[in-house]
Chain A
Amino acid sequence: DTAVSQTPKYLVTQMGNDKSIKCEQNLGHDTMYWYKQDSKKFLKIMFSYNNKELIINETVPNRFSPKSPDKAHLNLHINSLELGDSAVYFCASSLTGLGETQYFGPGTRLLVL
């Protein structure tokens, strides 16, 4: 009955590699998000999609490319991984994206060596 799920839970990879993180929500929400949480627990928005359309793209390197095949899925592809990309990445969703509660996934812990 997981509302927002992410895979994988852990990702350990070498610098320069390309990796993807997948997110799915079964809440029927229209809006999905990607957040990055650094080692100091600071949660920062990266992207927001509404009904498969990119709404918000914060200052994120072009190496990060989100893709939303349908409104229940939002994937994050990262090219040429760097040490500084190591963090926990959270997917979230909300009903309309107009200020209501966000529901978060369990996170993907990315470690770049």
Chain B
Amino acid sequence: EDQVTQSPEALRLQEGESSSLNCSYTVSGLRGLFWYRQDPGKGPEFLFTLYSAGEEKEKERLKATLTKKESFLHITAPKPEDSATYLCAVQDVSGGSYIPTFGRGTSLIVHP
């Protein structure tokens, strides 16, 4: 059974204080790993998709990386507007389902 674990559950940073969020996964084979951002009262918003170990993607202050067992979302010099819950989701190649399994998210607060 797929398992997606995100850590930490909550993270408080000062503006400009870089850090990383972790997403550990257990799948038979990885079809894809997704990162989403969810603001309070809103739906998840797509950030990145990663498909194979070693792959990296960047967007503004965010950089997502992938290994065979985990993904990191690195946040460089965060700003208060980066405060949100970050969700990780994985798709397994086994079985006929393309539905991703979501982790419980990391709630990030960036203080000015």
Chain A residues within 8 Å of B, Cβ to Cβ: 4, 33, 40-45, 48, 56, 90, 92, 97-107
Q: Are B99 and A56 in contact (CB under 8 A)?
A: yes
> Can you add 11 more A-B contacts, CB < 8 Å, to A99-B98, A105-B43?
A41-B85, A41-B87, A41-B105, A41-B107, A42-B104, A43-B87, A43-B102, A99-B31, A101-B49, A102-B34, A107-B41
Query: Count the B residues whose beta carbon is within 8 Å of the partner chain — how many?
Result: 24
Across-interface contacts of A41 in B (CB, < 8 A): 38, 85, 87, 104-105, 107
Could you tell me which B residues sit within 8 Å of A by CB distance? 31-32, 34, 36, 38, 41-46, 49, 85, 87, 89, 91, 97-100, 102, 104-105, 107
B37: shortest Cβ distance to chain A, in Å? 11
CB-CB nearest in chain A for B87: A43
Quick check: A97 and B98 within 8 Å, CB to CB? yes
Distance of A105 Cα from B98 Cα, bound (Å): 19
With A99-B32, A99-B91, A101-B34 as known contacts, state yes or no: A43 contacts B98, CB within 8 Å: no
> How far apart are the CA atoms of A20 and B78 in the complex, in Å?
40
Q: Which residues of A contact B87 (CB under 8 A)?
A: 41, 43
CB distance from B99 to the nearest CB of A (A): 5
